[in-house]
Amino acid sequence: MSEFTDKVKKRRTFAIISHPDAGKTTLTEKFLLYGGAIAEAGMVKGKQNMRHAVSDWMEIEKQRGISVTSSVLQFNYHNYCINILDTPGHQDFSEDTYRTLMAADSAVMVIDASKGVEDQTRKLFKVCAMRHIPIFTFINKLDREAKDPYELMEEIEAELGVETCAVNWPIGSGKQFKGVYERKNKQVICFSAVDGYRREVKEDIRDITDPSIKELLEDNQYEILMDDVDLLDGAGAEFDLNKIRRGEQSPVCFGSALTNFGVEPFLQHFLDFSMPPSPRMSDIGEIDPLSEDFSAFVFKIQANMNSRHRDRMAFMRITSGTFEKGMEVFHMQGNKKIKLNQSKQLLADDREEIKEAYSGDIIGIFDPGIFSIGDTLTVPSKKFKFEGIPTFAPEHFASIRNKDTMKRKQFVKGVTQIAQEGAIQIFTDMGGGMEQIYVGVVGVLQFEVLAYRLLNEYNVEIVNTPLSYQYVRWIENEGLNLKALNLSSDTKIVEDLRGRSLLLFSNQWGINWAEDKNKELILTEFSKNIS
| Identity of the amino acid at 481 | N
Please tell me what DSSP assigns to residue 174. Answer: G
Greatest pairwise CA separation for the chain in angstroms: 83
Q: Where are the domains of the chain?
A: 3-273, 280-378, 396-524
Closest CA to 229 of 308, 274, 168, 140: 168
Whole-angstrom Cα distance, residue 462 to residue 490? 25
Alpha helices for 274-394 (secondary structure H): none
Closest CA to 273 of 314, 241, 300: 241
Confidence of residue 30 (pLDDT cuts 50, 70, 90): confident
Closest CA to 437 of 456, 412, 458: 412
Whole-angstrom Cα distance, residue 197 to residue 55? 25
Question: Could you count the other beta carbons within 10 Å of the beta carbon of residue 292?
Answer: 14
Tell me whether residue 142 is annotated as binding: yes
Does 3.40.50.9100 match the CATH number of domain 3-273?
Answer: no
Whole-angstrom Cα distance, residue 139 to residue 124? 16
Whole-angstrom Cα distance, residue 300 to residue 17? 17
Instruction: Report which of residues 310 and 385 the model is more confident about.
Output: 385
Alpha helices for 161-259 (secondary structure H): 212-216, 221-235, 241-245
Please tell me what DSSP assigns to residue 420. Answer: H
Percent share of the chain, pLDDT over 70: 84
All residues at 6 or more sequence positions from 455 whose CB lies less than 8 Å from its CB, including other chains: 461, 462
pLDDT above 80 (res 71): no
Which CATH superfamily includes the segment(s) 396-524?
Answer: Peptide chain release factor 3, domain III (3.30.70.3280)
| Identity of the amino acid at 1 | M
Tell me whether residue 141 is annotated as binding: yes
Whole-angstrom Cα distance, residue 70 to residue 87? 4
pLDDT above 60 (res 52): no
All residues at 6 or more sequence positions from 368 whose CB lies less than 8 Å from its CB, including other chains: 312
Whole-angstrom Cα distance, residue 415 to residue 450? 8
Which range is least confidently modeled, 13-17, 273-277, 510-514?
A: 13-17
pLDDT above 60 (res 39): no
The alpha carbon dihedral of 99, 100, 105, 106 has a sign of negative
CA angle 120, 122, 127 (to 5 degrees): 100
Tell me whether residue 25 is annotated as binding: yes
Whole-angstrom Cα distance, residue 103 to residue 357? 16
Tell me whether residue 19 is annotated as binding: yes
pLDDT tens by residue, 447-469: 888 898 899 889 999 999 999 99
Instruction: Report which of residues 521 and 102 the model is more confident about.
Output: 521
H or E element in which residue 59 lies: helix 59-64
Sheet containing 11-18: which strands, arranged edge to edge? 71-77, 80-86, 11-18, 106-112, 135-140, 249-254, 163-166
Name 17's bridge partners: 109
pLDDT above 60 (res 236): yes
Tell me whether residue 21 is annotated as binding: yes
Tell me whether residue 13 is annotated as binding: no
Tell me whether residue 89 is annotated as binding: yes
Most trustworthy range by pLDDT among 129-133, 345-349, 388-392: 129-133
Instruction: Report which of residues 256 and 498 the model is more confident about.
Output: 256
Instruction: Report which of residues 413 and 22 the model is more confident about.
Output: 413
Concatenating the DSSP letter of every residue in 151-171 gives: HHHHHHHHHH--EEEESEEEE
- When pLDDT is averaged across residues 67-88 and rounded to a whole number, the result is 75
Tell me whether residue 45 is annotated as binding: no
Tell me whether residue 90 is annotated as binding: yes
Instruction: Report which of residues 215 and 227 the model is more confident about.
Output: 227
Which range is least confidently modeled, 24-33, 124-133, 289-298?
A: 124-133
Tell me how far CA of residue 502 lies from CA of 158, 245, 374, 480, 496, in angstroms. Answer: 36, 38, 20, 12, 8
**Do the domains 280-378 and 396-524 sit in the same CATH topology, yes or no?**
no
Whole-angstrom Cα distance, residue 184 to residue 336? 53
pLDDT above 90 (res 529): no
Tell me whether residue 78 is annotated as binding: no
The CATH class that applies to domain 280-378 reads mainly beta
pLDDT tens by residue, 414-451: 998 888 777 789 999 987 778 889 999 877 878 888 89
Which range is least confidently modeled, 199-203, 320-324, 375-379?
A: 199-203
Tell me whether residue 88 is annotated as binding: yes
Question: Average model confidence (pLDDT) for the chain?
Answer: 83
Whole-angstrom Cα distance, residue 370 to residue 298? 11
Tell me how far CA of residue 49 lies from CA of 28, 57, 88, 451, 508, in angstroms. Answer: 19, 17, 21, 26, 46
What is the predicted pLDDT for the residue at 308?
53
CA 70, distance to chain mean position in Å, is 6
Instruction: Report which of residues 462 and 304 the model is more confident about.
Output: 462
Tell me how far CA of residue 211 lies from CA of 180, 206, 222, in angstroms. Answer: 17, 10, 11
Question: Could you count the other beta carbons within 10 Å of the beta carbon of residue 7?
Answer: 18
